[in-house]
Structure 1
Amino acid sequence: MLHCTKKRGDMMIYEFKITLKHVGVPVWRKIQIDGNTTFYDFHRVLQVAFDWDNYHLHSFFAQKTNGERAGGQEITGEYHDDFGDVLGGNPSYNEKHEVISDWFSIPKDMVTYVYDFGDDWNHEIVFARKLQPEKDVVYPRCTGAKNIAPEEDTRGEVLMGEVDLALPDGKQLAKDVNEELRFQLNELLMSYDQTSAGDDKWYDVLSKAKEFQKLKPWDTLFDEHIFAVMDPVTQERLYCSVLGGAGEVFGLAVYIGDTGYRSLMNTLTTEEPDFQSVINQRSILLSYEDREDLEKEDYALIKSYDIPFRGRKSWPSFRSNKPGLYPWFMDDDEARLMLLGLERSIEVYHEVMNGLELPDMLFDEEMLVKVPREQNSGVVFDNQIVELEDREQELPNVTLAVSELDLKRMQKPKETLPATIEFSLEYMEMPVQNEENERPFFPLLVLAVEQTQGLAIYHNMLTAASNPASLIQSELLKVFESMNGIPGNIMVNHKTAHFLAPLIDKLNLNVEVEEDLPVIRQVMDMMHDDMLPF
């Protein structure tokens, strides 16, 4: 028998339990199949698994996908209606274009397969889990079966109880189904080798998270033992910090790139980081929780894969932190970075257990970096010790970002006002979510406050900007317009001063740079308190 060989990483195996409903006795099959299979080929597998003859029409109807009700959206090959939504109904989807991995992601996601719209043989397809393909196993395959299906065109006899569907030997039945799959669907069959890393990183992430938790590296590696990994793909550094030395949060924090480095340094050098410093983090976090403390999305992710977790503080939870955005679930690319961090962290742990001494990042002012290199068609990581000052970078260069017209208008003679203002752009501690299941963001508040009287003379609420220099510079010009002049003294923090620098030079502004802007802080606290629900 000929079959194609597919690399292990190209797709995960999806396991389903398919139950033929309303036939008087339990009739079901457990099927394992490549997640990249189209619904058309899935239909062909179901025809073989239940011994149908494909004489009649069929359709799939999505009942639950990604943990949410799907409203019976139809996936069919009999006709394809792109105008259903125009006519007030749901559009149908072409079964030759739709793949099962796009519709099944969380355990208990469900699609109904209806065969023969006269007899209405309803098959309830329930997603069970994702599996790594086994070496030399041919898919699709049947791993369990109970009782035979009726013959074609026998709905009446089944309703009258005149058909005996019982078959005691389920193992033999599953074996028979697999033989028919090989005979009838030879071109669909595929086996897997194990020579490739997977496109779906989550199985490996969960596997490494389980291994990491069992090692309990926080008993050996402490807060000062920070090390870095160079990402072979982006060449960015990932700064890894094992959590758990304080006995509260156990896991791994991975700070990404230069933004992550700055937020890590702020975390290490500040006794109690405030909201503004926390919200500017760029990191991903693995923490271990009790089962009952997991979000439903965390639990669904874990149960989607064949990796068991049990015990207190043993269930992994993954979060993404991006500047200006609410902590959220990691995406697939962040899963790749977390896998890289976990693999190298486990490697460092074993090296420390074998005598490696890690530098104290703050005291020694140097760090261990894992640097990739190619070896035998793979990648290995060498240890290098680097000085921190070689890596620490300033904020990005800033150019003048306002229009020539606005600049000329401000350069005309303007009254210098006998006033001192504090000017800042800060994230509001008030997440906004525009769409359900969309990642919330923290709006930006531009605020100018007259220092003596403590009055807000200008404020504007904005979403995050890709060019903060342009935003800050243009907003300061709006402050001047609202005041009908330029204040004699402007107080800003270091970050704001950096983005304002070209405008300060052009307009010869009198600016003082302060670590803290007390009046703005007071006004923002009052605004935040006013927004809190009773």
Structure 2
Amino acid sequence: MIQLHIESKQKSEIYRKLLLPKNSSFSMLDEIILLGFDLDGADYFNFEIVKKDGRVSKEKICFLPKNDTDLDTDEELVDEWLRKSGDEAIAHVIDNSESFTIRLESYEELSMNSETPICVAGAGNIHTGKMDKINLEEINELIGEDEEANSLLENQEPDYLTLLELTNDLKKLKPWQYLRDDEVVIIHFADIDYKVLVSVMGACGEEFGLMIFDMENGYDSLAKILFEKSISSDFSYSLNALTVNFVDREELDPADYQLIKDCGLSYRGKKNWIQFRSYLEGMHPERPNYLEVELLIDVVSRMINITEARKDGWEYPQVAAHQYPTFKVQMDGELQEIYILHINIPKPTYECYEEISMFEKAKYKKKPKSPLQLEYDLFYMPFGVESEETNRTVYPIAGMLVERGSNLVIEHELFPMPKTPPIAQGVLWAFLQNLEVRPSKIFVSKELRPMLQPLAKILGIELVESELPCIREVREFMKNMSMNLFEE
């Protein structure tokens, strides 16, 4: 562990002593300082190294923990810069007057959990400047709940045996006989104020299992499934969810089968083999990590309780759209009374995200207008590529401009990023600037039309909603192409 003394530059009596695991990044230190001094509403830090290897640094070494400079600062390690007792750095809060001195006190093996950051001492309130007594237990509870700190746990071995055994118990109850996939329930873990939405698959006799959606990041995915009549063909690439699936033996990946064997388990019959998946937008679905398995254990356990309650007579209430019965889980694990939660869905609003100057606008409108009709779309490619920034395979998005009728691909570009309104506008604007003429119409999908309308209004472009038959045909052809051939 690394022991750091961190004090306010404005008032040195206000300080914290932190223990960080070896190989901790400056990004983690950034998060821990914010939590330790109750600055979680602030921006991130600018770190300046002032003393290194016991000597004052001759050059000013200054970087941000999450910027995009020459240093890959998201991965820069504290113990590679602060190496000797007394080495120092200065942390300046971005857009804030607060600054802190960070001093390395010791660097040795300590008899404690080497995976968990902890605040071991401190004094003073940074907000009032007073020497109030601080609550170490509260600070460490915040650190323990913080996403950055919890990411350390992802390297621990998930408890798949417990999850498999619980999921097998759920399977025996056949929850799809009691709940349809549109009879979604919310499980509210009251002690951490965290909510998930759960849909039971299998009432139609085809796919069996659970889909679990995080309230904040996954509800858009669930809402599309429940309320949109037609979903785009690449919808699964934009899914944010955890799934529990009961499948046939031949549907298992070899790794899934090996996991079941390693746990000393086996199943027989159709739709009896258990598979788990974690879906993140724009990425290949993977087996859940440690934290996701912990969540699944809690969710599956509660779904057993809810299914048994349904068998004992609880009826799914009649609710309006975006309303769901909510089961509240208390700290002792008991389910409290049900209440109806209404999720407010604001109508999305879009603006022109491109900074188009009067000169650029005039230059575009001077191009001769032609009868050219084009189709434009932004979609996920059906193959993945390796990314240096994540341990998952990424599905790149493709922007494509196709001449309607001839199916000639006029422009195309690949991007390793999610599909967003600014990207949709930016790609189209770049394509239009490369054309010699102005098209008479641009056909776009139902999904993209409202995103592109602000840009189209500024440029005087007519957008027409379409199923995009030409792009659909090109995409079918692309399914049999290799990534290298497409890039060429």
TM-score with structure 2 length normalisation? 0.58
Residue 331 (str. 1) matches residue 289 (str. 2): yes
Partner of 2:207: 249
In structure 2, C-alpha distance between the alignment counterparts of 1:411 and 1:234, rounded to whole Å:
55
State the SS of the aligned residue for 1:475: helix
Pair 1:478-2:433 in alignment = no
Q: CA 1:232 to 1:459, structure 2 compared with 1: closer, same or farther past 3 Å?
A: farther
The separation in 1 between residues aligned to 2:219 and 2:451, in whole angstroms, is: 20
**1:498 is the counterpart of 2:483:** no
| Cα separation, 1, equivalents of 2:415 and 2:310 | 48
Cα 1:331/1:450, change in 2 over 3 Å = same
Q: Matched residues in 1 for 2:302 and 2:316: separation? A: 14
Partner AA of 1:370 in structure 2: T
Distance 1:445 1:382 in 2: 47
* 3-state DSSP of counterpart to 1:349: helix
Report the alpha carbon displacement of residue 416 of structure 1 after superposing the two structures with TM: 4.6
Matches within 5 A, 1:98-177: none
Which AA in structure 2 matches 1:205? L
Cα-to-partner distance string for 1:177-229 (whole Å, 9 max, x where unaligned) = xxxxxxxxxxxxxxxxxxxxx99664543342132123222233233432222
Residue matched to 2:276: 318
Q: Is the 8 A contact 2:185 2:197 kept in 1?
A: yes
**SS at the partner of 1:486?**
coil
Map of 1:525 onto structure 2: 476
Paired residues of 1:289 and 1:315 also in contact (CA < 8 A): yes
Q: Which runs of 5+ in 1 are unaligned?
A: 1-94, 103-197
Give me the whole-angstrom Cα distance separating, in 1, the residues matched to 2:191 and 2:437: 51
- Separation (CA, whole Å) in 2 of partners of 1:286 and 1:449: 39
Question: Is 1:384 aligned with 2:335?
Answer: no
1:19-418 correspondence to structure 2 within 5 Å: 202=160, 204-230=162-188, 232=190, 237-257=195-215, 260-268=218-226, 275-289=233-247, 294-302=252-260, 308-312=265-269, 313-359=271-317, 365=321, 367-372=323-328, 380-386=335-341, 390-395=343-348, 397-404=349-356, 408-412=359-363, 413-418=365-370
Match of 2:404 among 437, 447, 451: 451
The alpha-carbon deviation at position 404 of structure 1 amounts to: 4.9
Q: Does 1:428 align with 2:381?
A: yes
Q: Matched residue of 1:330: which SS?
A: coil
Secondary structure of the residue aligned to 1:494 is coil
After superposing the two structures, state which structure 1 stretch, 524-533 or 323-332, moved more: 524-533
Alignment-derived partner of residue 393 in structure 2: 440
In 2, are the aligned partners of 1:217 and 1:242 still within 8 Å (CA)? yes
Shift of 1:483: 0.8
Aligned length: 338
> Bigger radius of gyration, 1 or 2?
1
How far is the alpha carbon of 1:422 from its aligned partner? 1.4
Native 8 Å contact 1:400 1:503 kept in 2: yes
Q: Secondary structure at 1:352's aligned position in 2?
A: helix
User: In 2, distance between residues paired with 1:272 and 1:511?
Assistant: 20
Task: Quote how far apart the aligned CAs of 1:365 are.
Answer: 3.7
The offset of 1:285, in angstroms, is 0.9
Give the equivalent residue in structure 1 for 2:414: 461
SS in 2 for 1:275: coil
Cα distance change, pair 469–343 in 1 and its aligned pair in 2 (3 A)? same
- How far is 1:477 from its partner? 1.6
Alpha-carbon contact 1:324-1:442 (below 8 Å) kept: yes
- The one-letter code of the counterpart of 2:301 is E
Residue 338 of structure 1 aligns to a residue in which SS? Answer: helix
C-alpha displacement of 1:427: 1.0
Cα 1:423–1:225 change in 2 (3 A) is same
CA distance in 1, matches of 2:266, 2:335: 30
1:513 to 465, 472, 479: 465
Show the counterpart of 1:124: none
Cα deviation, 1:493-517, whole Å, max 9, x if unaligned, reads 2332233243233333322233x11
CA distance in 1, matches of 2:191, 2:460: 44
Instruction: Look up the match of 1:14.
Output: none
SS of the residue corresponding to residue 495 of structure 1 reads coil
Residue 448 of structure 1, CA deviation:
0.8
Q: Is the 8 A contact 2:328 2:338 kept in 1?
A: no
How many angstroms does 1:492 deviate by?
A: 1.6
* AA of the residue aligned to 2:449: A
C-alpha deviations, 1:310-354, integer Å up to 9, x for none? 433444211012222222111223223323431332222122112
| Contact 2:453–2:463, Cα closer than 8 Å, also in 1 | no
Q: 1:200 to 1:456 in 2, by over 3 A?
A: closer
Distance of aligned partners of 1:499 and 1:245 in 2 relative to their CA distance in 1, 3 Å threshold: same
1:518 Cα shift? 1.6
Contact 2:201 2:208 in 1 (8 A): yes
* Aligned-pair identity (%): 23
Deviation (angstroms), 1:425: 0.5
Letter in 2 for 1:517: L
For residues 379 and 200 of structure 1, do their structure 2 counterparts lie closer, same or farther at Cα, with a shift above 3 Å needed? farther
User: Which deviations, in whole Å up to 9, do the C-alpha atoms of 1:408-466 show, x marking residues without a partner?
Assistant: 4234342252222211101121222358x94222221101112243322111122124x
Please, what is the CA RMSD of the aligned residues?
A: 4.2
